Amino acid sequence: MDLTTLTIKELSEKLRKKETSSVEATKAYLKRIEETEGKVHAFVTITPDDALAMAEAADKRIAAGQAAPLTGIPIALKDIFCTKGVRTTCSSKILENFVPPYDATVARKLKEAGAVILGKNNMDEFAMGSSTENSAFHKTLNPWALDRVPGGSSGGSAAAVAAGECAASMGTDTGGSIRQPASCCGVVGLKPTYGRVSRFGMIAFASSLDQAGPLTRSVEDAAIVLQAIAGHDKSDSTSIDTPVPDYLAGIGKGVKGLKVGIPKEYFIEGMDPDVESAIRKALDVLKGLGAELVEVTLPHTQYAVAVYYLVATAEASSNLARYDGVKYGLRVNQTGGLLDMYKRTRDAGFGDEVKRRIMLGTYSLSAGYYDAYYKKAAEVRTLIKNDFDEAFKACDIIATPTAPSAAFKIGERVEDPLTMYLSDIFTISCNLAGIPGISVPCGFTKDNLPVGLQLLGKSLDEETVLRAAYSYEQAGGWLGRRPTL
């Protein structure tokens, strides 16, 4: 039995029945990492000794009858979550040697649930990108096609789950960075409602958009992980203080009578025909299950990319001001004085994309341009949110493609930031509106590249998102596919 092919649900049942142990499962995953990591490069840091110690502790807890659903399950974290005593780089040179003195709330909660952390996944530097090619360290390759990107920015997390290097990974999503790589790698990716999961200790990119969520093999697993990480946190003033529902309770209720909105603005020219046909087939499956498909309109969709790249860069320029060579990580020390030290440190520490965004964000926030750019973007953001509020009067959930194309070739979009930015055209509005969204595998292109179906829900209605995704997954026939490596 290859333990690395199991879902969290399956492995946790085996652990509870004592058919295997967490140490055994952890060793199986470490062996799998050894075999496949040379091809995929999904990790920045692997922590085998810590993982085995956590697995031993988990086995004791299971033996004592105190297991939680994640106890003993080997997982990984995007290298954006601070981990006490374990280097946390955000795939940036500026944090190359940063060892946090504390855990992010997400990391703490996963540890408290008894999960085994195998290591930290590669990502686009500071989560800026859609291909993981912006990592300062190395590229991650798509396990389905090693000449292609895994998507981004949580590309290491998605590739690791797809390659069987961990049972699940935690990612972050500011404009699509959980859902788009999940779609590219044929796994499930869930972005919860803004504020449902604490951002404390999650290195900030754009604070009004950033949200943590799981990348998993199944929708049920996404619900299990969300259950463990969701909830109010007094250390994050933007986390929502409402009770966390039982995400598994209604997951199998089906979609009979559920109104699924299809926004006409999301079936655009230029979309890969293989993607469109996979999505149309997935919609037929939902219809066959008793869902009612209704056309809806999100008229401000055309402004989403522009609004996002103003809001996100503005917030990033402010968040990244803290990397000054004094407080964290890298310092390039010369004799030119304080200002010179700042400049040299930031010049050496940040990659091109990060610098581009700091410049864009600083520009749009500066006196004289603020009203024309940042303020305008903030206003249009409200219109985008209102579009969703209107649309959700006519439907319970919205279905779209996750991305306009499947995974693209390594290097194909590096020189062309605008084309790269368009990879997120279908995922960005969800973050601007703060609503939850999931990407669930819904087929393959002719080149055998995975395609993802995106389902968006009302604010705090992860339950319906999970229920619809689960229904589709059970009927769709794509569950359990794994690339040959």
Catalytic residues: 78, 153, 177
- 202 - beta bridge partners? 81
Does 149 interact with ligand GLN (rule: CB under 6 A)? no
The minimum distance between CB 464 and ligand GLN, in angstroms, equals 23
Does 317 interact with ligand GLN (rule: CB under 6 A)? no
Residue 320 DSSP one-character state: G
Question: Looking at beta carbons, which residue is closest to ligand GLN?
Answer: 177
66 vs 74, 225, 411, CA distance in Å? Answer: 18, 18, 48
208 vs 239, 315, 454, CA distance in Å? Answer: 11, 8, 21
Contact (CB, 8 A) for 149 and 184: yes
3-class secondary structure, 112: helix
The minimum distance between CB 242 and ligand GLN, in angstroms, equals 24
Among 153, 169, 227, 459, the residue binding ligand GLN under the rule CB under 6 A is 153
3-class secondary structure, 142: strand
The minimum distance between CB 176 and ligand GLN, in angstroms, equals 5
Amino acid present at 422: L
Looking at 33-41, 173-181, 196-204, 441-449, which segment touches ligand GLN (CB under 6 A)? 173-181
Amino acid present at 169: S
Token pair 């669930």: residue: 440
Looking at 10-18, 125-133, 249-257, 335-343, which segment touches ligand GLN (CB under 6 A)? 125-133
Which residues 6+ apart lie within 8 Å of 244 measured at CB?
Answer: 227, 230, 231
157 Ramachandran zone, left/alpha/beta (phi>0; psi -120 to 50):
alpha
Does 175 interact with ligand GLN (rule: CB under 6 A)? yes
Instruction: Tell which positions 84-123 bind ligand GLN, by CB under 6 A.
Output: none
Does 452 interact with ligand GLN (rule: CB under 6 A)? no
Among 130, 157, 319, 464, the residue binding ligand GLN under the rule CB under 6 A is 130
The minimum distance between CB 288 and ligand GLN, in angstroms, equals 33
Burial label for 295, CB within 10 Å (0-12, 13-18, 19+), is exposed
Taking residues 256 to 295 in sequence order and writing x for each that binds ligand GLN by CB under 6 A, - otherwise, the string is ----------------------------------------
The minimum distance between CB 128 and ligand GLN, in angstroms, equals 5
Instruction: Tell which positions 183-212 bind ligand GLN, by CB under 6 A.
Output: 205
The minimum distance between CB 304 and ligand GLN, in angstroms, equals 12
Nearer to ligand GLN, 210 or 233 (CB): 210
H or E, element range at 463: helix 462-476
Residues in the chain: 485
> Applying CB under 6 A, which residues contact ligand GLN?
127-130, 153, 173-177, 205, 312, 424
